[in-house]
């Protein structure tokens, strides 16, 4: 195919990005540009189409239009496709793929439309050459795009092949990564090209897998976004002009070599070490490791920038569940405080799918742009960090008393909180307890659990119980607002120290899944132990408060013994055992996240990891292997606190504590020393111990003495038993 100036193209892009894409195409030499909902129509030579594939940072696909025709039915679609001379596009024995999209047409099914287009192309080539092309959905010689809108079909060659957002550098990703072309659009809209040309720096304080920082480095370094790609839709298309494409690639490589010297100071941070590792790998794969530094750091510890001006761009978590917005407000307030304290003179771009959270930042946005991250409508909030743009954050306004007076129901709730604190605070101070429950659905209409954690400052975790279906969602929201309005003034804490979660019936590993990505850990004390808790990122904080006495008992039992902690979570019971004088501990869990947390708990307490081991394994499989091995170590104490239910994909089989506990206990008992004791605990409601399945073990129910005073309202919050071989007298634990 000649480099014909009359070619018509269509470039697709994420919703909200089309004006940026139009500007890019204009700069690449395109003409007759027209923006439409899903992208941009333009005209130009094949070279312009190639340049769009190579250089557009915002496009998803570039389509070379072949024809438009009426297609009110399948026969008309077949006939219209055959008006194209397919010998100029595909060899008779080649491979073909067709992508179809149908909107407002009598041909309602896109799969059927795609099949009719394939048949029409194949029929023409078979009639001419006696050969029919085959289908290859992954890497075809020709990829055709058909769009049928109100019975009019548009037929095009897909020049891009795989979506252009796939740059080729992202080796690893973390939770909810941005598509690369959306990240580039955010940076273009935030004015990064001009800031970079002026020598400004770049910082992403929650960089995740590093997409924003890589795209920023490529923009600053004049690197074509598709330069790493080795496969395009036009590679095996018969109309391809290889020499033209090679010239354009060589030109892009020369520009990248020259532009690399102009990449300014760039820093990325994340509180999650897994994200840091992923970002470092992606930065290296993108060829900008020499210009970009990625470090693990909490948001609160973000350093002042190295240069006086620049852009801080960030894509913080959105919070999609009821109550998460209130919890994430703390994160956004912390971001705003950091900007105001250390980044004056900089520009900031905050991309969020929950625009009300922007009010916590405490800066007046000078521009707001709408983008779509998939189906989520998002806002890009642009700030100039200067005193004239500072305003009180929503948190600060609440502290100043600008919230509405408490409703009658909220006042009753506040009275109950006050009464509970008057009863519990003296007890907690007398016993040296710093983390305890102060409310647990005492009033059914205000169904939540409220836990107090005393760290450097008191923090409250509000766990809202999911309302029954008989309670309307708007009423449930109002009750949550009532609670959140009443808690800070009643308990004397700042609104920013109140963290909100919703508790629902969890299946599988859901209770351990990441809810946000702040990485903010707080140190608390429990007896002799220093422990890390996280209020934002997971459903649980890393410390089950109802097991406070159970952990102390396990520690006492483990003194001078070897201890095994199965389903160890963050290994808090192992910390108790180690500090109580256990000879050794082995803590087993499947989650790398929680074992990393456990390592941090060990380090905080100067616990020697050579003596107190952490093992990543599926506990069911690991225990089965150990129980069947006569050479396996034996333990004086085993703590067994399994999940209620798990069907995690990483487990070799699903687990139900009611169904499987007898088997699990018996396997664990094989690993006890002759005088050993197994502590078995479960939080399953209405749990019934299988006494027949556990025949032969001496069993002592210690549930009552392991329920702390602050959980006394719910005597079945957990059940706990000590299990020994027959005839073994009970050890003395705390009462």
Q: Predicted confidence band at 181 (pLDDT cuts at 50, 70, 90)? A: very high
Question: Is the pLDDT assigned to residue 326 strictly greater than 70?
Answer: no
Q: Which residues pair with 269 in a beta bridge?
A: 295
Residues 6 or more apart whose Cβ sits within 8 Å of residue 96 = 90, 118, 121, 122, 133, 134, 135, 136, 140, 141, 142, 143, 144
Confidence of residue 356 (pLDDT cuts 50, 70, 90): confident
One domain for residues 409 and 394? no
Tell the burial category of 203 from Cβ atoms under 10 Å away from its Cβ (0-12, 13-18, 19+): buried
Domain shared by 269 and 351, yes or no: yes
Q: Which helix (H) or strand (E) holds 331?
A: helix 324-342
Query: Is the same domain home to 437 and 569?
Result: no
**Confidence band for 732, pLDDT divided at 50, 70 and 90:** very low
DSSP state of 684: -
Q: How confident is the model at residue 513 (pLDDT cuts 50, 70, 90)?
A: very low
Residues 211 and 323 in one domain: yes
Residue 657 pLDDT grade (very low, low, confident, very high; cuts 50, 70, 90): very high
Q: How many of the other CB atoms lie within 10 Å of CB of 507?
A: 11
Of residues 210 and 470, the one with the higher pLDDT is 210
- In sequence order, the β-bridge partners of residue 292 are 266
**Rounded mean pLDDT, 120-134:** 93
Q: Percentage helix, strand, coil, to 5, in the chain? A: 35, 25, 40
| SS3 state of residue 463 | strand
Q: Can you list the positions of beta strands (E) in 399-443?
A: 435-440
196 and 63 within one domain: no
Structure-block tokens of residue 174: 């973390």
Lowest-pLDDT range, 78-87, 99-108, 125-134, 415-424? 99-108
pLDDT band at 386 (very low <50, low <70, confident <90, very high): confident
Section 316-343 average pLDDT: 75
Distance separating alpha carbons of residues 424 and 422, to the nearest angstrom: 6
Instruction: List the one residue out of 445, 441, 443, 466 whose CA is nearest residue 322.
Output: 466
330 in Cβ contact with 396 (< 8 Å): no
Task: Match 């955010």 to its residue by tokens.
Answer: 186
- Distances in Å between the Cα of 419 and the Cα atoms of 408, 491, 708 are 17, 11, 18
Tell me: do 207 and 131 sit in the same domain: no
Range of the domain at 593: 543-724
Mean pLDDT computed over 178-203? 95
Q: Give the CA-trace dihedral at 382, 207, 514, 17, to 10 degrees.
A: 50
The Cα 195–Cα 523 span in angstroms is: 39
**CA–CA gap between residue 23 and residue 7 (Å, rounded):** 19
- What is the model's pLDDT at position 548? 97
In the predicted structure, residue 690 carries a pLDDT above the cut 90: yes
Query: Residue 477's pLDDT band (boundaries 50, 70, 90)?
Result: confident
- For residue 108, give both structure tokens: 């309602």
pLDDT of 509 > 50? The answer is no
What mean pLDDT comes out for the span 395-424? 78
- Res 276: pLDDT: 93
Q: Is residue 630 helix, strand or coil?
A: coil
Domain end call among 457, 489, 504: 504
Q: Which residues contact 422 (CB under 8 A, 6 or more apart)?
A: none
pLDDT above 90 as % of the chain: 69
Least confident of 53-62, 225-234, 332-341, 720-729: 720-729
Structure tokens at 651: 């487990």
Q: Is the pLDDT of residue 198 over 60?
A: yes
Query: Is 174 part of any domain?
Result: no
Any idea what the CATH number is for the domain that residue 87 is in?
3.30.2130.30
Residue 494 belongs to a domain: yes
H or E, element range at 348: strand 347-352
As given in the structure block, the two tokens for residue 221 are 């370094």
End position of a domain, from candidates 366, 382, 398: 398
Give the end-to-end CA distance of the chain in Å, rounded to a whole number. 87
Residue 432, domain member (yes or no): yes
* Main-chain phi, psi angles of 656, to 5 degrees: -130, 120
Give Cβ neighbours of residue 295 (< 8 Å, ≥ 6 apart). Answer: 267, 268, 269, 276
Which position has the token pair 């664990």?
A: 668
Reported confidence tier of residue 6, pLDDT bands at 50, 70, 90: confident
- Greater confidence (509 vs 620) lies with 620
Identify whether residues 133 and 184 lie together within a single domain. no
Q: Are residues 188 and 97 in the same domain?
A: no
Helix (H) or strand (E) holding 419: helix 408-431
Structure tokens at 649: 């994909």
The whole-number pLDDT of residue 321 equals 42
Q: Determine how β-strand 584-589 pairs with β-strand 562-566.
A: parallel
Last residue of a domain, one of 358, 378, 398: 398
In this prediction, residue 37 carries a pLDDT of 82
CA distances from 204 to 159, 217, 288, 303, 413 (A): 33, 12, 15, 12, 41
> Do 272 and 347 lie in a common domain?
yes
Does 550 share its domain with 482?
no
Spatial separation of the C-alpha atoms in residues 373 and 318, rounded to whole Å? 11
Task: Answer yes or no: is pLDDT of 728 > 90.
Answer: no
356 shares its domain with 437: no
CATH number at residue 366: 3.40.50.150
Assigned domain for 235 exists: no
**H or E, element range at 534:** strand 529-534
Q: Flag whether 509 is in a domain.
A: no
pLDDT value of residue 318: 74
> Tell me, what's the pLDDT at 676?
96
**Contacts for 712 with CB less than 8 Å, ≥ 6 apart:** none
Lowest mean pLDDT, pick from 288-292, 390-394, 656-660: 390-394
**Predicted confidence (pLDDT) at residue 77 exceeds the cutoff of 80:** yes
Q: Is residue 273 pLDDT above 60, yes or no?
A: yes
Q: For the chain, what is the mean pLDDT?
A: 88
- Inform me whether the pLDDT recorded for 485 exceeds 90: no
Assess whether pLDDT exceeds 60 at residue 640: yes
Give a yes or no: residue 229 inside a domain: no
Sequence-distant (6+) residues with CB within 8 A of 231 are 139, 161, 162
735 within some domain: no
Instruction: Give the mean pLDDT of 352-378.
Output: 88
Q: What is the dihedral of CA 568, 571, 573, 575, to 10 degrees?
A: 150
Where does residue 569 rank: exposed (0-12), middle (13-18), buried (19+ CB within 10 A)?
Answer: buried
In a domain, 733, yes or no: no
Would you say residue 11 has pLDDT above 90? yes
How far CA 98 is from CA of 115, 124, 158, 234, in Å, comes to 8, 16, 9, 14
Query: Do residues 447 and 493 both lie within one domain?
Result: yes
Of 342, 346, 264, nearest in space to 304 by CA: 342
Structural domain tally of the chain? 4
3-state secondary structure (DSSP) of residue 370: strand
């Amino acid at each position: 195919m000649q480099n014909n100036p009359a070619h018509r193209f269509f470039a697709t892009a994420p919703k909200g990005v089309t004006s940026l894409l139009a500007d890019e195409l204009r700069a690449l030499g395109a003409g007759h540009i027209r923006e439409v909902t899903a992208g941009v129509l333009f005209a130009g030579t094949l070279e312009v189409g190639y340049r769009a594939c190579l250089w557009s940072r915002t496009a998803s696909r570039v389509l070379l239009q072949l024809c438009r025709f009426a297609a009110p039915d399948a026969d008309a679609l077949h006939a219209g496709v055959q008006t194209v001379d397919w010998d100029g596009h595909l060899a008779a024995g080649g491979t073909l793929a067709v992508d179809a999209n149908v909107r407002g047409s009598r041909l309602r099914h896109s799969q059927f439309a795609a099949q009719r287009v394939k048949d029409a192309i194949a029929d023409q080539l078979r009639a001419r050459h006696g050969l029919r092309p085959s289908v290859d959905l992954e890497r075809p010689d020709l990829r055709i795009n058909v769009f049928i809108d109100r019975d009019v079909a548009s037929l095009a060659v897909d020049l891009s092949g795989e979506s252009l957002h796939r740059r080729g550098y992202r080796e690893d990703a973390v939770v909810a990564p941005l598509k690369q072309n959306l990240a580039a659009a955010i940076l273009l809209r935030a004015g990064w090209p001009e800031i970079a040309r002026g020598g400004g720096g770049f910082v992403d304080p929650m960089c995740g897998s590093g997409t924003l920082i890589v795209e920023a480095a490529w923009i600053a370094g004049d690197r074509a976004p598709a330069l790493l790609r080795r496969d395009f839709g036009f590679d095996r298309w018969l109309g391809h002009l290889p020499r033209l494409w090679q010239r354009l690639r060589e030109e892009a490589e020369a520009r990248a070599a020259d532009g690399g010297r102009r990449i300014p100071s760039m820093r990325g941070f994340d509180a999650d070490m897994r994200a840091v590792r992923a970002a470092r790998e992606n930065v290296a794969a993108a060829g900008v490791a020499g210009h970009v530094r990625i470090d693990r750091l909490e948001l609160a510890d973000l350093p002042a920038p190295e240069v006086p001006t620049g852009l801080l761009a960030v894509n913080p978590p959105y919070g999609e569940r009821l109550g998460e917005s209130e919890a994430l407000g703390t994160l956004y307030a912390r971001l705003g405080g950091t900007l105001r304290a250390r980044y004056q003179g900089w520009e900031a771009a905050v991309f969020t799918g929950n625009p009300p959270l922007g009010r916590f930042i405490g800066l007046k946005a000078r521009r707001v742009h709408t983008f779509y991250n998939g189906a989520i409508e998002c806002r890009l909030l642009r700030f100039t960090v200067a005193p004239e743009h500072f305003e009180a954050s929503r948190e600060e306004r609440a502290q100043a008393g600008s919230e509405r007076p408490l409703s009658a129901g909220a006042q009753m709730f506040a009275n109950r909180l006050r009464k509970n604190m008057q009863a519990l605070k003296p007890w907690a101070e007398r016993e040296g307890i710093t983390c305890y429950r102060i409310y647990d659905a005492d009033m059914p209409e205000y169904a939540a659990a409220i836990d107090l954690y005393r760290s450097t400052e008191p923090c409250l975790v509000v766990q809202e119980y999911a309302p029954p279906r008989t309670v309307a969602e708007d009423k449930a929201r109002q009750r949550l607002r009532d609670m959140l309005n009443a808690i800070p003034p009643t308990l004397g804490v700042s609104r920013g120290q109140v963290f909100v979660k919703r508790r629902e019936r969890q299946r599988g590993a859901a209770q351990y899944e990441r809810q946000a990505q702040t990485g903010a850990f707080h140190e608390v004390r429990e007896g002799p132990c220093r422990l890390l808790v996280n209020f934002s990122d997971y459903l649980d904080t890393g410390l089950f408060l109802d097991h406070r006495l159970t952990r102390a008992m396990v520690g006492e039992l483990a003194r001078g013994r070897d201890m095994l902690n199965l389903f160890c979570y963050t290994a808090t019971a192992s910390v108790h055992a180690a500090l109580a004088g256990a000879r050794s501990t082995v803590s087993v869990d499947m989650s790398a996240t929680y074992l990393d947390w456990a390592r941090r708990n060990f380090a905080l307490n100067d616990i020697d990891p050579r003596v107190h081991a952490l093992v990543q394994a599926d506990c069911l499989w690991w225990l089965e292997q150990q129980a069947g091995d006569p050479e396996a170590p034996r333990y004086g104490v085993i703590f067994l606190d399994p999940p209620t239910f798990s069907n995690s994909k990483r487990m070799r089989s699903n687990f139900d504590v009611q169904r499987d506990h007898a088997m699990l206990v018996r396997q664990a008992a094989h690993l006890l020393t002759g005088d050993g004791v197994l502590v078995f605990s479960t939080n399953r409601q209405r749990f019934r111990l299988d006494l027949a399945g556990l025949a032969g073990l001496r069993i002592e129910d210690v549930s009552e003495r392991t329920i702390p005073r602050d959980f006394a309202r719910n005597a079945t919050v957990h059940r706990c038993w000590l299990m020994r071989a027959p005839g073994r007298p009970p050890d003395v634990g705390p009462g």
